[in-house]
Structure 1
Amino acid sequence: MLSRTAEHLFWMTRHTGRAENLARVLEAQHQLSLIQPLHANDDTALERHARERAARGWLAILASAGVVDRYHLAHKGVTSAEVIAFMVADPSHPASIVSCLRAARENARTVRGWAAEELWETINTTWLDLQRLIADGLQAHDPSAFFEWVRARSNLARGVQLAAPVQDEGLDFLRLGAAIEGADHILRTLEAHGDVLAAVAFDYHRAYALLRAVSGVEAYRRIYRDTLSSAQIASLLIQCPDWHGSLAARLDEVRRLSVRLRNSQSAQTERLAQLLCDEVRQAPVDEWLSSGRLSGWFAAMIVRVNDLARRVGRDLTRPLVPGPVAAAA
């Protein structure tokens, strides 16, 4: 396979996955904000605390996407409506859903001659329908319906990919992009909202929102069959080998695919993937959870996973990403 084709397949799934993950994070925070309705005219200490708490949640989403400063340039306050509009429909920055799906479509268009026709039709239709939904204002008057639509379209694209008539290395590059994006997403979500795990007073609603943001609710119920607890949530999201969305499972998939796609210059990339897998499996998560060290570990792992992603792009594919999107990679 040409390196140019491999690169476009890799980035197509990264950007599709990024849009889906962002929709999950925004939906989780949106639902959390509905649990404690805020009354703008009520200036009691309880309401002020609720507003500040909600603002911190939205700011955490902006921070995990690296767009806090850009947001503040255009907005004075932090409200759910403004953050949703900024992270969904603003094409001026690469972290929005519209920017991610535009980049996914451009990569899909470039490989139309290689990929199955159904894949191009799915991604192109998603892009066309997205513009119509945004013009109709669905993300503003019914955010939950909009986020559900993004998730459904991403799932459809993934199903089309897996149903490809030929299971060759092209599918491996698609899976590689999804695995790396998944590892990055779960780490950024934990860094932004992981304080709920270390809180003295366990907050059920915030913990549930954290699981929703990484699509881990059903996995938790099936694996633990228990009420929510910080230790079990941390174990599921970080080290659980039985759930494909855990950090350990995502990194192990990157490792396996790096081996399958190896070439003469990828030995260091394979070693780094193996090293990260070993470190995650052996990490004393319970000890770090009780001592408050997990947040620092999340930040360090984000850097290392992004280094792995850059090495994959350098050694296994040829970096060829649209300019404004590359800055967010």
Structure 2
Amino acid sequence: MLGKTAGGLYWMFRGLERAEHTARLIDAGFRIALTRSTDPASDWRSVIATSAQQAAFEAKYDAYTSRTVSNFLLRDLDNPSSVLSVIKAARDNARMVRTALTSEVWVAVNETWMVLTEMLKDSLTEAELPLILDTIRQQSGLVRGALYGTMLRNDVYNFCRLGTFIERADSTARLIDVKYHALLPSHASVGSRLDNVQWEMILRSVSAHRSFRHAVEDDFNAANIAEFLILDERFPRSLAFCAQRINENLTLLHKAYGDDSACLTAAQAFQARIDGNTISDIFEQGLHEYVSQSIIDLAAIGMQIEQQYRFWR
């Protein structure tokens, strides 16, 4: 396979996953803001900070509100990471690699682009947010279902899934960080009812509330929820689950191409770092520090994949 084709597949699914993550990130900020109405600007600022776009946002907007943050992250074409921007890029990549995709996957991607382009053509209001965020998640699921149900399990499929799981692991880490990094009003709130309610909202934002209830018998609290989102291999958005899938897909590509295994070695080290810790170890290191290092490691793995498989050729 040409490196350019591999890169198109990889980035198409990174973009689709990023669109869903952005919707979930906004949903987390929206829900958490409802639990602490005294300072909603701080809650929305944390969403922008966690998306690593604070400078770009502040260059364009004067205030952190649900309207300004939502419009910036969902429909602003000057923001290359907005949903509208990444969906357009995903559709362009899908068109470029169309011969590698089944007709079902292409139709699902193209439909996603058309639906969201129509929904996001005008400035958004807070009342419109729930429907728009739900639609983004539903369209993302439609594309995943088409991929899973119709594609051969070959190198095309592996590059698609690599894009999905690297982006998803990064997304989960950032969602944990949006809670820990800036949302608590003071250190005295750690372990309080407010703290636990906000952690529960994070669960809901990743559609994990019921799964957590099935998997964990203990209460909703920071340690139990962080353990579930980081270490539980059964949950498809946990760091542990994503690390396993990244290693599986890279192993299959390594066997297919017989190339050097630099990115596979890095991915194995990332998984070992997850497998080698308990939640007590992570909290002792510092949850924010652990999550931040995970984000750095995932970025490095992504760059190594691009270099090893020559996405520019």
TM-score by length of 1: 0.86
Structure 1 position 312 matched with structure 2 position 305: yes
Q: Give 1:205 deviation, angstroms.
A: 2.5
Would you say the 8 A contact 2:32–2:43 is kept in 1?
Answer: no
Question: Which residue of 2 is the match for residue 303 of structure 1?
Answer: 296
Structure 1 residues 139, 115: closer, same or farther in 2, change over 3 A? Answer: farther
2:227 pairs with 222, 235, 238, which one? 235
Would you say the 8 A contact 1:88–1:139 is kept in 2?
Answer: no
Question: Which residue of 1 is the match for residue 244 of structure 2?
Answer: 252
Write the deviation string for residues 180-199 of structure 1: whole angstroms up to 9, x where unpaired: 01111111222232257982
Q: Give 1:2 deviation, angstroms.
A: 2.6
Structure 2: distance between partners of 1:319 and 1:174: 17
Write the deviation string for residues 116-165 of structure 1: whole angstroms up to 9, x where unpaired: 11212211122122121123556654100000000000000000011115
Question: Which residue of 2 is the match for residue 3 of structure 1?
Answer: 3
SS in 2 for 1:95: coil
Would you say the 8 A contact 1:122–1:157 is kept in 2?
Answer: yes
Aligned-partner residue type, residue 27 of structure 1 = D
Structure 2: distance between partners of 1:153 and 1:82: 24
Would you say the 8 A contact 1:234–1:285 is kept in 2?
Answer: yes
* Unaligned runs of at least 5 residues, structure 2: none
Structure 1 residues 192, 147: closer, same or farther in 2, change over 3 A? Answer: same
Would you say the 8 A contact 2:218–2:224 is kept in 1?
Answer: no
1:201 pairs with 192, 200, 205, which one? 192
Question: Which residue of 2 is the match for residue 293 of structure 1?
Answer: 286
Question: Which residue of 1 is the match for residue 264 of structure 2?
Answer: 270
SS in 2 for 1:7: helix
Question: Which residue of 2 is the match for residue 43 of structure 1?
Answer: none
Structure 2: distance between partners of 1:165 and 1:274: 26
The 5 A counterparts of 1:1-329 are: 1-36=1-36, 38=37, 50-51=38-39, 54-135=40-121, 137=123, 140-194=126-180, 199-203=190-194, 204-262=196-254, 263-289=257-283, 291=284, 293-316=286-309, 318-319=311-312
Would you say the 8 A contact 1:25–1:212 is kept in 2?
Answer: no
Structure 2: distance between partners of 1:82 and 1:202: 29
Structure 2: distance between partners of 1:105 and 1:160: 15
Q: Give 1:220 deviation, angstroms.
A: 0.8
Would you say the 8 A contact 2:191–2:222 is kept in 1?
Answer: no
Would you say the 8 A contact 2:8–2:94 is kept in 1?
Answer: yes
Identity %: 25
Structure 1: distance between partners of 2:310 and 2:136: 27
Aligned-partner residue type, residue 115 of structure 2 = D
Structure 1: 4+ residue segments shifted above 4 A: 136-140, 195-198
Which has the larger displacement, 6-15 or 120-129? 120-129
SS in 2 for 1:261: helix
Which has the larger displacement, 122-131 or 136-145? 136-145
Q: Give 1:5 deviation, angstroms.
A: 1.6
Q: Give 1:317 deviation, angstroms.
A: 5.1
Aligned length: 305
Aligned-partner residue type, residue 114 of structure 2 = L
TM-score by length of 2: 0.90
Structure 2: distance between partners of 1:247 and 1:280: 8
Structure 1 residues 8, 83: closer, same or farther in 2, change over 3 A? Answer: same
Structure 1 residues 113, 292: closer, same or farther in 2, change over 3 A? Answer: closer
Structure 1: distance between partners of 2:260 and 2:207: 32
Aligned-partner residue type, residue 90 of structure 1 = D
Q: Give 1:303 deviation, angstroms.
A: 1.0
Would you say the 8 A contact 1:30–1:80 is kept in 2?
Answer: yes
